[in-house]
Amino acid sequence: MVIVLHYLFSSSHLALHSVQWPTKEREFSMPTITIGETNIDYAVERRARRKHPAIHISSDQKVTVLVPEKFDLDAIEVLLHGKAQWLLKHLNQSVPLPTLPLKEFVSGEGFLLLGRLYQLQVTSQSKITPQVMVDGRHIRVVIPMTLVPQQHPVIVREILVQWYLAEAKQLLSERIDHYVPIVGVAPTRLKIAEYKSRWGFCREDGLIALNWRILQAPPSVIDYVVVHELTHRFHLHHRQSFWDALSRVLPDYAMRKQWLRDHGAELSW
């Protein structure tokens, strides 16, 4: 039996992840992705009739990336970097996992913002600085016309990441400010960045870090993450006293938390 796993197309620039490509490209190549101290071997198989990339994990735990015949190697690297932690988590699972489409960062794809689905529109213009605009139910990305088509997925993704990050810094700062007087404590410093395995954390020195990806979730879920981390300023643990304090601010926190469990993977690309 072969388990077919389709992932959200994504990348990461973390130093922990590196992809080592073979010196000579073959029809069936075998590079390795390194995550921390773990090496994951995988095959890259090109198929003339395939229109979209996908990741296959066989019952004997072999990983294969299936791509169209002319699919760019850089785009494959983007895909694997973005799903490295997912691979670590699920390679040893024996049960089939849900099938999700890969994102190719082309017009027509859906992207979440504050829990609402927007349609991506990518356009090219000459002599223009890349930009992102929200227009109705569309997220419009404008890229320079000088880019070759093979570069588009990587560039469009990077533009979107930087835009989401900038928007998250503003909105999450506002939500922190809103809840500080309610929770009764403020962070010593706020950091908004990309994290692969958590939505946020609070350090003993008072720093609170939040994952920009949470900007895709509904406002109620965003507030849950914000209040969760602020509550850690009083309780640096997850014992009952922490949850009691959290419930005094958000009595329905369990429902918001469940949304992240059910849909968190959809926010990774």
Domains located in the chain, CATH noted: 2-90 (no CATH), 110-165 (no CATH), 167-267 (3.30.2010.10)
Strand partners, 56: 4, 64
- What does the pLDDT average to over 177-186? 98
Across residues 60-88, what is the average pLDDT? Answer: 77
Closest CA to 173 of 199, 131, 212, 132: 212
Distance, CA of 141 to CA of 136 (rounded, Å): 14
In the predicted model, is pLDDT for residue 8 greater than 80?
Answer: no
pLDDT top residue among 183 and 100:
183
Question: What average pLDDT does the segment 221-244 reach?
Answer: 96
Residue of 63, 6, 75, 5 lying closest to 33 (CA atoms): 63
CA angle 12, 191, 90 (to 5 degrees): 35
Among 88-102, 130-144, 249-263, the least confident range: 88-102
Give the pLDDT mean for 203-217: 96
SS3 state at 240: helix
pLDDT value of position 30: 62
Nearest C-alpha neighbor of 82 from the set 100, 95, 61, 97: 100
Q: Output the DSSP codes for 59-101.
A: TT--EEEEEETT--HHHHHHHHHHTHHHHHHHTT--S-----P
pLDDT of residue 250: 98
Tell me 48's DSSP state. T
Average confidence score pLDDT of the chain? 82
Region 174-183: what's the mean pLDDT? 98
Higher pLDDT, 14 or 103: 103
pLDDT of residue 101: 62
The pLDDT score that the predictor gives to residue 24 is: 35
Tokens coding 174: 């506002």
Q: CB of 88 within 8 A of CB of 35?
A: yes
Q: Which residue has the higher pLDDT, 132 or 51?
A: 132
* Assigned token pair, 138: 């569309």
Per-residue model confidence (pLDDT) at position 78: 76
Query: Which pLDDT score is estimated for 100?
Result: 52
Say what the pLDDT of residue 22 is: 34
d(CA 137, CA 234): 40
pLDDT at 171: 98
Dump pLDDT digits (tens) for 108-139. 999 999 999 999 999 998 877 889 999 899 99
At residue 60, the pLDDT reads 64
Q: Are 269 and 8 in contact (CB under 8 A)?
A: yes
How does residue 53 score in pLDDT terms, banded at 50, 70 and 90? confident
pLDDT band, very low/low/confident/very high, at 187 (cuts 50, 70, 90): very high
Burial of 249 (0-12, 13-18, 19+ CB in 10 A): middle
Lowest mean pLDDT among 19-33, 65-79, 202-216: 19-33
Q: How confident is the model at residue 35 (pLDDT cuts 50, 70, 90)?
A: low
Question: Residue 195 above 80 pLDDT?
Answer: yes
Record the tokens describing residue 44, joined without a space: 């890259």
